[in-house]
Amino acid sequence: MALPFNIFSIGKEPKSYLGVDIGTLSIKIVELSSENGRPKLQNYAILSNYNLIENKTPKVFGGEASMMLRRMLKESGIVAKEINMSAPIFSSFLTIMELPPMSESEVASAIQFEAKKYIPVPLDSVLIDWSLIGTSAEGPSTTFGAGLPAGQAGKILILLIAIPKDLVNEYQFIARESDLKLNNLELETTSATRALIGNDPVPAVLMDMGSRDTTISVVDGGYLRISHSIEASGEDLTRALANSLNISWRRAEELKKEQGLKVMDNNNQINDVLAPLLDTIVNAAKNIIDLYFSKTNKKVEKLIIYGGAAKMPGFSQYLGKGLGIDALIGNPFSKIIYDEKLNPIMEEIGHEFTIATGLALKAIQ
């Protein structure tokens, strides 16, 4: 038997995969490999507030994103070529579809047939993704449809997600231009669920507070059930601070990160400006939790926050108080092997890699 060309390199470099999260103002990359079946962190990279000019909010996308991505890959020495990417909820469509009892093999064709009743745009303009999340049952139980009237029990519940093909093409363009192979595109919250919830069956709210918006979702039994994005974001807080104190965007951003909600305690004028934004988030979360309870009789028991603004001083306490649930900062690396020297960094910015980690995990699980 002929020996392989370079016997010494065999097994040296485990195959690794990338999760790439392209946000409104940032790009985050996580590279994972598998070590005896456990995910291992190979590399990571983050680019924040790219090209942010005062009073202008540019969108990192298209050609710009691929250019930045190429630079990040080169500078961080990332070697993987296969990537997964995610799309935000505001650009996509998510609903729960109900099908009459049928065999699992019949489900896929039934979904294709029924999807047009649920999706408000032509089906050939979207990429459809779905997952089986359970069956509806009578009375309180562990499934989504608990409490449905008799006769509706036993229906098959499907989580249906539609991502516009135009958007899919944009992501494909970014990957191609960066010399990467895009294997999967999924909803951001699906990636976050994989990274933060896994198989934990407890109903939880996931909250992603980013630059552009805040996405609030309910996950139950490891599946995404509801997801909404609202226009109250980290960026809105910065602009509100800058305007009310008549300071530059940059100074306001610093103040927000250093003092967070303490600026409200120190200054009533700011309280009037920031509190309504924060309360919009608390109320939206309350509404989603109540909606979920009204449909399922199940109480949300956990609140996990992630995205850049999750670490704003005082924010988790404000949410916890408003919602009556402790708000935990998401740690997507909790089940991942990594060099313990990275602990301080993970402690500080680990939550920002939630989506990128969930995407990379998809490839190796």
Ligand X SMILES: Nc1ncnc2c1ncn2[C@@H]1O[C@H](COP(=O)(O)OP(=O)(O)OP(=O)(O)O)[C@@H](O)[C@H]1O
Residues that bind Mg ion (CB under 5 A): 23, 210
Nearest to 18 by CA among 183, 242, 249: 183
Contact of residue 213 among ligand X, Mg ion, none (CB under 5-8 Å per partner type)? ligand X
CA gap 334, 90 in Å, rounded? 28
Looking at residue 188, its amino acid is E
Is 86 near ligand X (CB under 6 A)?
A: no
257 binds ligand X (CB under 6 A): yes
For the residues of 23-43, what is the DSSP string, one character each?
-SS-EEEEEEEEETTEEEEEE
Calculate the alpha carbon distances from 185 to 118, 129, 262, 306 in Å: 21, 10, 39, 20
**Tokens 């540019």 found at:** 58
Instruction: Choose between 158 and 207: whose C-beta lies nearer to Mg ion.
Output: 207
Q: Does 194 bind ligand X (CB under 6 A)?
A: no
Is position 186 an interface residue for ligand X (rule: CB under 6 A)? no
211 binds ligand X (CB under 6 A): yes
Q: Which C-beta is closer to ligand X: that of 148 or that of 312?
A: 312
Q: Where are the beta strands (DSSP E) in 277-320?
A: 302-306
* 256 near ligand X (CB under 6 A): yes
CB nearer ligand X, residue 31 or residue 253: 253
Interactions with ligand X, residue window 131-170 (CB under 6 A): none
Query: Which residue number, 27 or 336, has a Cβ lying nearer to Mg ion?
Result: 27
| Bridge partners for 161 per DSSP | 94, 129
Residue 26 CB, shortest distance to Mg ion, in Å, is: 7
Spatial CA neighbour of 131 closest among 87, 186, 182 = 186
Residue 176's SS3 state is helix
Confirm or reject binding of residue 70 to ligand X (CB under 6 A). Answer: no
Contact of residue 309 among Mg ion, ligand X, none (CB under 5-8 Å per partner type): ligand X
Nearer CB in complex with ligand X: 170/235 = 235
Point out which span in 37-45, 74-82, 206-214, 264-272 binds ligand X (CB under 6 A): 206-214
Q: Which is nearer to Mg ion, 111 or 219 (CB)?
A: 219
Q: Does 253 bind ligand X (CB under 6 A)?
A: yes
Comparing every residue's Cβ against Mg ion, the nearest one is 23
Q: How far is CA 277 from CA 122, 148, 156, 261, 352, in A?
A: 35, 35, 38, 12, 21
254's enclosing H/E stretch is helix 249-259
User: What is the C-alpha separation between 184 and 182, in angstroms, rounded?
Assistant: 6
Q: Is 212 in the site for ligand X (CB under 6 A)?
A: yes
Binding site for ligand X (CB under 6 A): 23-26, 210-213, 233-235, 238, 253, 256-257, 260, 307-309, 311-312, 352
